[in-house]
Amino acid sequence: MRKKLLAIIATAAMLVTMIPALAFAEGEPWQIGETKYGTLADAVAGAGADATIELVGEYSGAGATLAKNLTLDLGGNNCDLSSALSVTSGAVKIIGYGQFEGDISVTGDGSLEIDSGSFKSDVGAYMATDSVMFFEPSIEEPSYPYVIYPELTDDEAIDMGAMYKATRDGHTAYYWDSGSMNEDPKVGELTNVTKLAYGVNFMVTNPTGFFPSSGEWWNGLMKKENSIGMGEFWLDENTKVTGVPPAPKAIKGYEFVGWYPLVAGQLEWSDVTGDAQLSKDAKFSNTKVDNATVVSGDEDYIDYYAAWKKVTEGTGSPNTGDDSNVALVVALVIMSLMAAGGLTVASRRQSK
């Protein structure tokens, strides 16, 4: 308890010390060294050649004309310009992974190089030599679909959810799936399109094929090249596994036998209940998926379902016969014993 109280006091003290700085940054978010400015134009005017102008808070205001060598460090903050950022001469560089909204123009002897950041408009023509783009369309607003990274390997992109890779304006671009790639206004100009991975879903349908909206399921990415394992899956917010997920929770009277794809039928969702059920024509493949599974095909996503085998209750052994036949045999045995008992009683009475 004492440790928790000390932590609360320390956190409160830190927040109190930050209040003046935050208030100051809000009014003067641009900074060169120790000098702060309220507008981008003021910061540009006060900057010497080759200076770095840092954005230390959120900025929403007018743009500026840049006519000297400068670096704009967005510092992970939002920069919303009501007028254009115009580069007329000199070499300008944008770094810092911030979110940028506004028009950009480069004229005369000016040049612009974007190392990193998220942008609402297409800035592919200004990307640095080694930078890559991750096109991330979003239904949320505001959306910054043009995300620039200084560098990104295929494995890193896959870990971030990429399924496709292409060459766009001479640079590498990554996409979540074919749907997001088709949303790129330049999809018709893409070259060297390569499929990097498949999306994989593992769903715990019960023995009747019912899949509740609150049921267990895992998703991840499977690399295409010989599959190289089944990707990484989060079982909960603290537990991550690599490969095929473990067996789901036990269901009384049934044994989990593995994960299988469908060769017929589908999972049908109900807009009314929010739950789902395997269609009546659903049929499992004969091939169970494991960490050596190799996939192919044009689809982006592959679904695997939990398969169950009924067992005889109390023994754990598979139920290989018909329950009604077993019951019939038991009944006949009991009747035979009763009949035998009756004959014995009658014989004793006659002997008396």
Q: Cα separation of 73 and 87, whole Å?
A: 16
- pLDDT of the residue at 230: 56
Q: Tell me, what's the pLDDT at 141?
A: 67
Structure confidence at residue 301 (pLDDT): 87
Give the span between the Cα atoms of 79 and 55, in whole angstroms: 8
Domain layout of the chain by residue ranges: 199-310, 325-352
Let me know the angle formed at the C-alpha of 118 by 115 and 120, rounded to the nearest 5 degrees.
125
| Residue found under tokens 């590498």 | 172
Q: What is the 3-state secondary structure (H, E, C) of the chain?
A: CHHHHHHHHHHHHHHHHHHHHHHHHHHCCEEECCEEECCHHHHHHHCCCCEEEEECCCEEECCEEECCCEEEECCCCEEEECCCEEECCCEEEEECCCEEECCEEECCCCEEEECCEEECCCCHHHECCCCEEEECCCCCCCCCCEEEECCCCHHHHHHCCCCEEEEECCEEEEECCHHHHHHCCCHHHCEEEEECEEEEEEECCCCCCEECCCCCEEEEEEECCCCCCCCEEEEECCEEEECCCCCCCCCCCEEEEEEECEEECCEEECCCCCCEEECCCCEECCCCCCCCCCCCCCCCEEEEEEEEEEECCCCCCECCCCHHHHHHHHHHHHHHHHHHHHHHHHHHHHHC
Gyration radius from the chain CA atoms: 33
- Cα 107 from Cα 110, distance rounded (Å): 6
Please give the pLDDT value at position 105.
96
pLDDT under 70: residue ranges of the chain: 1-26, 139-142, 225-242, 313-352
pLDDT of residue 219: 76
**Does residue 225 contact residue 193 with C-beta atoms inside 8 Å?**
no
